[in-house]
Every structure is written in structure tokens, then in C-alpha cells.
Amino acid sequence: MTIQAAVDWQGWMQRWDAQQTGYLPDREERFNTMFHVLDTLLPPNFVALDLACGPGSISQRLLARFPQARSVALDFDPVLLTLGQNVLGDMNGRLRWVEADLTQPDWSEKLGETQFDAVLSTTALHWLLAEDLVRVFRTLGALVRPGGVVLNGDHIPFGPHLPAFDKVAQQYNETVQTVAFTERGVENWESWWAALAQEPSMTPLLAERERRFAAFKATERNERNPLSNFYQAALQHAGFTQVGVIWRNMDNQIIMAVR
Ligand SMILES: C[S@@+](CC[C@H](N)C(=O)[O-])C[C@H]1O[C@@H](n2cnc3c(N)ncnc32)[C@H](O)[C@@H]1O
């Protein structure tokens, strides 16, 4: 427990939000758009699943905005889960943390709930291969109650049939990142993790993270990133009746699926 006392968790959370916002200047707008959907479609006392939650960025904002809601936050990264747990705790019994690997078939058995009104995910599902995404969406089809909603916010490429679109989006993303990381000196993903590794007490958690994600190879995943149509077809196939893009900025989009 000395590890919790030594680390400035709040500071690391702020730095997490800053680096994520460096990649996505409209990150808060994307969160707020998702919350507008929940506000419109769900009763106030809904139960949400924050899928691949990282340190709980969605749950933190969602529970502040919807005082009668509950959230279950799931991730496989022991570092980010520890960060979230230390900053947010259980938010007066309304937030529960679950450690599970979405690529494993038993992930939903660890949730402790069998039905959700909403599933939200941001900047995360691009980590999964297409075959894992299909399996995850099929599970969500069973977990989300009729009338419930899935919202996935992520960078999703336009694809090889739209090379000019991808060129424009990539150019836009490069400009955004140059402004944040070069001109404004914001910490990026690599420097955030490198700085965290300087905290001596983080060594065991970082080693465990390394072990868990050793099988994932980012470059291979990125080359095989599924397209928006694939996400939408997989959600339809999983039983969602209305599926489409509810918000987008270049290749950054929110796919919405109503069960
Ligand atoms: C860039 S972070 C985004 C976190 C948060 N949603 C946000 O927007 O700040 C991506 C997250 O996906 C999680 N993730 C990737 N693969 C996963 C898997 N197989 N199972 C569970 N979580 C996974 C990572 O651990 C990481 O926390």
C-alpha cells in the first residue's frame, strides 16, 4: 500500500487527460456528444459499461453528469486501473472496476452484471483485431438490453478505397499533433509512459503491464485496422437494430448502435 501513498495519482490523471487531448483536441466534445445520446435515450438511473476504460475517463465524467447512474469500468491494464482506482475510488458506490481481457472469451463473466443500458468506449477498440471485435460485439448484443445503446468513439480509417479521404484525415491529425506535442510541448503517449516509469514504486505494475500486452504488436494491429463499415456490420450482426455514425471529425467518429 506504500505505492499509493508515494504517487501523485491526481497529477498523473491530469497528465493522462492532457496527453490524450493532445491527440484529440475535441476529446471533451466527443464525451459530451455521447452523454447527449444517453440523456436523450435513457432514463436517469441507467447502468453503463465503460469498455477498455483506461483510468476511467468516461466513468469519471459520466457519473458527474448523471447523478443517478452507475458505471462498471473494465480494462486489462494494471497500471491504468490502479491510477483510476486511486483517483476515483468507487464514486460513492456508483463505480465498480473490473480487470478483464476483451480478447478472452470469459471477459463478460467478470462483470458481475448481466444487463446494461449503455456501453461506451473511447480510443480503445482499435487495439482489437477484427475477429476479436466481432466476438466482443456479439457479447454486447447479449449484454445490452433492448432499447439500450453502444457508443464507440475512435479513429477509424476511411480505407484503401478512399485514399484521398485518408490523406486529408492523416494530414489533419499530423497538424493537430504538431501543434500539441511540438509547438505547445504537451507530453505524448510515449513520454507519459516513460515519465511514469521514473516512479520507482510503479516498477512491478509496469512489468505486469508489459507481460500482459507482450502479445499485442501495435504496428501489425494498425495495419489491419477494421473500417467503419466493418464495425457497423458487426454490430448489426450482433443484434443492434439501428447502427450509424452519430458524430465525426475527419477519421475520428462515434459509432452508435441501438439494441
Ligand atoms: C488509449 S486508452 C483509452 C482509455 C480511455 N477510454 C480514454 O479515452 O482515456 C486504450 C485502452 O484500451 C485498453 N485495452 C486494449 N486492449 C484491451 C483488451 N484486450 N482488454 C481490455 N482493455 C484493453 C488499454 O489497456 C487502454 O486502457
Contact 250, 238 (CB under 8 A): no
pLDDT tens, position by position, 54-88: 999 999 999 999 999 999 999 999 999 999 999 99
pLDDT of residue 218: 52
pLDDT of residue 225: 83
Atom of ligand 1 nearest to the CA of 80: 27
Separation of CA 54 and ligand 1 centre (Å): 5
Structure-block grid coordinates of residue 124: 480503445
DSSP conformation class of 226: P
Nearest alpha carbon to residue 27 among 184, 254, 183: 254
Q: Which residues contact 238 (CB under 8 A, 6 or more apart)?
A: 134, 137, 138, 140, 141
pLDDT of residue 2: 44
Q: Helix (H, G, I), strand (E, B), or coil: what is residue 225?
A: coil
Nearest alpha carbon, ligand 1 atom 8 = 122
Ligand 1 binding pocket, CB closer than 6 Å: 20, 52-54, 57-58, 75-77, 80, 101-103, 122-124, 127
pLDDT of residue 221: 53
Pairing of strands 144-155, 95-99: unpaired
Mutate to test the pocket of ligand 1, among 50, 75, 97, 140 (most ligand atoms within 8 A of CB): 75
Nearest alpha carbon, ligand 1 atom 27 = 54
Separation of CA 119 and ligand 1 centre (Å): 14
CA–CA separation, 24 vs 155, rounded Å?
A: 10
pLDDT of residue 217: 59
Nearest alpha carbon, ligand 1 atom 23 = 52
- Residues in the chain predicted with pLDDT less than 70, given as ranges, are 1-5, 216-224
Contact 149, 118 (CB under 8 A): yes
pLDDT of residue 214: 87
Atom of ligand 1 nearest to the CA of 20: 9
Separation of CA 2 and ligand 1 centre (Å): 26
CA–CA separation, 27 vs 166, rounded Å?
A: 20
Nearest alpha carbon, ligand 1 atom 13 = 52
